[in-house]
Amino acid sequence: MIGVFDSGVGGLTVVKEIKKILPDAPIIYFGDTARLPYGNKSQETIQKFSSEIAEFLKKKGCRTIVIACNSASALAADYLREIYPDLKIYDVVSSGAEAAVEATKNKKIGVIGTTATINSSVYKKKISELDPEIEVFTKACPLFVHLVEENWIKRPETRKIARTYLRELKLNKIDTLLLGCTHYPLLEKIISGVMGRRTKVIASGEKLAKELEKTDLETGFPSEDEYFVSDLTPHFEKLAGKILGKRVKILKIEI
């Protein structure tokens, strides 16, 4: 059984990629909608929230956990691996960095993410470890999470904000743009439109799903997926259905 968590709805983009490759793998999802965004919070707070969620998922029977939140991946992944050595813990940062390195031709990669993710420099470190010759240009885009959570995906205001955020990355002539937040794939059309055809836009979900495919996952669990949130809103329900391509039952719980 795979546990997946994020600060909100964005992690469902990772769930979607996992289900494409592992359609029979049961998933328990938790979106911490009452406490989002994580991107403007301290490392201590993000580690606290992440450990509470990991404990919940463990009690639900998950032995494999996917951190589908870049801020939590950057600031809490190693912490969770230390306090839960019995769990297999995957994070979107490692997967995203590998996918970007594989994609770039001119060795110029752009990374966009929340303020916490960008300030951590985790992507620069991961990419440099894989290929020290690659130049990495980063940009914090904190408003993107709010725009997605408010379902402003097709609004002209969102396109204007994207142009402002991405202007300097275009000037750096990157050929690969890594979406360092799982909310951002929901804005991929706008982002790709702003960046142009010469820039390949990369999300981490597909790469992570392929990594899970190589793992021996536990069997014998009920096949029905479960979805939980810390605060249930109409926006979440609507976006969840749009991302997953079907309506799903979502339960509000306190952890």
Task: Report d(CA 131, CA 128) in Å as an integer.
Answer: 5
Active site residue 181: yes
Tell me whether strands 135-140 and 200-202 are parallel, antiparallel or unpaired.
unpaired
Same domain, 171 and 149: yes
Residue 222 has pLDDT above 70, yes or no: no
Which alpha helices (DSSP H) does the chain contain, by range? 12-21, 43-59, 70-83, 92-103, 115-120, 122-130, 143-149, 156-171, 188-195, 205-213, 234-244
pTM: 0.88
Percent pLDDT > 90 in the chain is: 84
Active site residue 141: no
Task: Report d(CA 247, CA 244) in Å as an integer.
Answer: 8
Annotated catalytic residue within 69, 101, 118, 243 = 69
pLDDT tens-digit series, residues 91-125: 999 999 999 999 999 999 999 999 989 999 999 99
Same domain, 198 and 112: yes
Give the residue from 228, 215, 227, 223 showing the smallest Cα distance to 255: 228
pLDDT tens-digit series, residues 53-63: 999 999 999 99
Task: Report d(CA 169, CA 214) in Å as an integer.
Answer: 34
Residue 219 has pLDDT above 70, yes or no: no
Same domain, 19 and 83: yes
Residue 220 has pLDDT above 60, yes or no: no
Angle, alpha carbons 32-35-37 (nearest 5°): 90
Same domain, 99 and 87: no
Percent pLDDT > 70 in the chain is: 97
* CA R_g for the chain: 17
Annotated catalytic residue within 75, 162, 181, 209 = 181
DSSP codes, 76-112: HHHHHHHH-TTSEEEEHHHHHHHHHHHH-SSSEEEEE
Q: Residue 161 is part of which domain span? A: 94-204
Same domain, 31 and 83: yes
The total of structural domains in the chain comes to: 2
Give the residue from 119, 117, 65 showing the smallest Cα distance to 96: 117
In the prediction, which pLDDT does 240 show? 93
State whether residue 38 is helix, strand or coil. coil
Same domain, 104 and 63: no
Same domain, 77 and 114: no
In the prediction, which pLDDT does 216 show? 67
Per-residue CA distances from 192 to 162, 184, 199 (Å): 10, 11, 8
Provide the CATH number for the domain around residue 140.
3.40.50.1860
In the prediction, which pLDDT does 151 show? 87
